[in-house]
A = this chain, B = another copy of it.
Amino acid sequence: SASRLQLSGLCFLLQILTIILFAVFVRYSPESSPGLCSQQLNCSWRNQDLGFQHPRFRDVHLQALLGFGLLVAFLSRYGLGSVAISILIVAFAIQWAVLIQGFLYFFLNGKIYMGAQSMVSADFCTAAILISTGAVLGRVNPVQMLLLTLLGVTLFTLNEYILLSLMGVSDSGGSLTVHTFGAYFGLMVSRILHQPRMDKRKGQQDTGHQPDVFAVVGTVCLWIFWPSFTSATTARDNAEPWAVLNAYFSLVASTLATFVLSPLLYEESTLWMVQIQDATLASMAVMGMAGEMLVTPFGALITGFLAGLIPPLGFRFLTPVLCSRLKIQDTCGVHNVHGLPGILGALLGTLLTALATADAYGGRLELVFPLVAQGSRTTTDQALCQLCALPVTLLLATLGGSLTG
C-alpha cells in the first residue's frame, strides 16, 4: 500500500513538474513562417530540413505510429501483467524526452520551439527506454522504473547528441543510438541491481517465455511497419527507397535463419513463434545504421540471415555465461536481441561507409552522408567516425547504467 501511495505521489509530482517546465519553456514551432526555422533554429538536426518540408507531416504520422508498433512488439515480450507499467513509462518518457531533446536541439531565446520533429525524436528515445526496461523487468518496482526512465532519457539524448550532431554519424535507424545504447544501459542497471537470491527464479522465468497472441500480433506489426520505419527519415519522392528494400529482405532472411536453427535447438514447435519475433527484432537492430546505405539486395539477405542466427545461439550459449560469470540477469534477452545485433549493425555500417563512392550513391550521397557530400570529409574519415561512435555509445551506456543502478 505504501508503494502504491509512493507511485501515485511520484506520478503527480512528475506531471506537475513537467507541466511547469512546459509552461515556462515550450512553445509551438513557428513553422508557418518556414524562413525562420532554417535561419535561427538548429534545424539541421538529422539532416531532414533540406527539402523535407513537404512530406514531413505524413512521415511524422508514420514514425509516431511505428514507434508504437514497436511498443506492441515489446509488450508481447513482457507479458500482460507489465503492460500498464510499460505504458506509464512511455507516457512519461515522451514528455521528458521532448523537454531534454528540446534543450539540446530546439532551444532559442530561452524557449523550446517544438514541432512534429520533436514527437519523432521522442518516440525514438522511448523505444530505447523500453529496451532498457526489458533487461530489468520483474526485478524493479514502478517507482524505480520511473527514476530509471528519468535518467535513461537524459543519457540517451546526450549520447544521441554526441553521435548525430557533434560526430556527424549517420544512424537513421538507430542501430547504435536506440538498440545498442538501450540494451547495454539496461544490462548495466541489471548488473548493479543483481541480487544473488534471484538466480533461482531464472529457470521459472524462462518457461514463462511462451508464444501467445501478443507475440503473433507484435511480429506481424513489425513486419507491416518496420520497412516504412527505417525509410521514414530518409524518404525522397523521386529516389528508389533503398531502406525499404533492405529492411524487407533483411526481415525475410532472418525468418528463414530462425527455421534453420530452431528445429535443431528446440524440440517443441510451439516455441518457434518467439524465435521468429526475436529474429525480426534482431534484423531491425542490425539494419538500423546500414539501412539507407548501398547494402545491395543480396547483402541485405546475408545480413538478415546472420542477424537471425544471433538470438537463438545467444540464448543457448551466451545468456547462461552472462548470468553465471558476469552476474547479469537479462529478463527478456535484450543482449541477444538488441545488443549484439546493434553492434553488428554498427560494424556493417562502418564497412559500407568506407566502401561508399559518389558514383554509386548519386544524389543520395547528400542524404546519407551530408558531410561527405559537402566535401568536408572523406568516406574514410566518415567510416572512422561511425566506428568511433560504437565505443562512445558502449561507454556512455555502461557508465550511465552503473550510475543509475
Q: Which of B18, B213, B219, B237 contacts A54 (CB 8 A)?
A: B237
> Which residues of A68-119 are within 8 A (CB) of B?
68-69, 71-72, 75, 80-81, 83-84, 87-88, 90-92, 94-95, 114-116, 119
Q: Is the CB of A364 within 8 A of B61?
A: no
What residue of chain B has the Cβ atom nearest to residue A297's Cβ? B26
Q: Does residue A374 face the partner (Cβ distance < 8 Å to B)? A: no
Residues of B close to A244: CB separation below 8 A? 60-61, 64, 116, 119
Beyond A34-B238, A88-B255, is A264–B27 a contact (Cβ under 8 Å)? no
Across the interface, which residues of B come within 8 angstroms of A34, CB to CB?
238
**Chain B CB within 8 A of A363 CB:** yes
Using a CB-CB cutoff of 8 Å, which residues 12-50 of chain A contact chain B? 12, 14-15, 18-20, 22-23, 26-32, 34
| Inter-chain contact B298/A88, CB cutoff 8 Å | no
Q: Is A248 an interface residue (CB 8 A)?
A: yes
Q: Does A193 contact B (CB under 8 A)?
A: no
The chain B residue with its CB closest to the CB of A213 is B213
Determine if A8 and B276 form an interchain contact, defined as CB atoms under 8 angstroms apart.
Answer: no
CB of A228 within 8 A of CB of B11, answer no
A235 within 8 A of B: yes
Asked if A395 lies at the interface with its beta carbon under 8 angstroms from chain B, I say no
Known: A8-B264, A256-B14, A264-B8. A57 touches B237 (CB 8 A): yes
The residue that A242 contacts in the complex, of B28, B223, B264, with Cβ under 8 A, is B28
| CB–CB B220/A72 < 8 A | yes
Cα separation A353 to B281 with both chains bound (whole Å): 46
- A286-304: contact bitstring with B at CB < 8 Å (1 yes, 0 no)? 0000000010111001100
Interface size class of A (residues with CB under 8 A): 35 or more
Tell me the complex Cα distance, A219–B87, Å.
Answer: 10
Closest 3 CB pairs of A and B: A31-B240, A91-B255, A4-B263
Q: List 25 A-B contacts (CB under 8 A).
A: A5-B263, A7-B259, A8-B262, A15-B253, A18-B301, A22-B297, A22-B301, A27-B296, A27-B297, A28-B240, A61-B228, A61-B244, A64-B248, A68-B220, A75-B216, A80-B211, A80-B273, A84-B272, A84-B273, A87-B276, A88-B255, A95-B249, A114-B297, A115-B240, A119-B244
Residues of A near any B CB (own CB < 8 A)? 4-5, 7-8, 11-12, 14-15, 18-20, 22-23, 26-32, 34, 53-54, 57-58, 60-62, 64-65, 68-69, 71-72, 75, 80-81, 83-84, 87-88, 90-92, 94-95, 114-116, 119, 211-214, 216-217, 219-220, 223-225, 227-228, 235, 237-242, 244-245, 248-249, 251-253, 255-257, 259-264, 269-270, 272-273, 276, 294, 296-298, 301-302, 305, 362-364
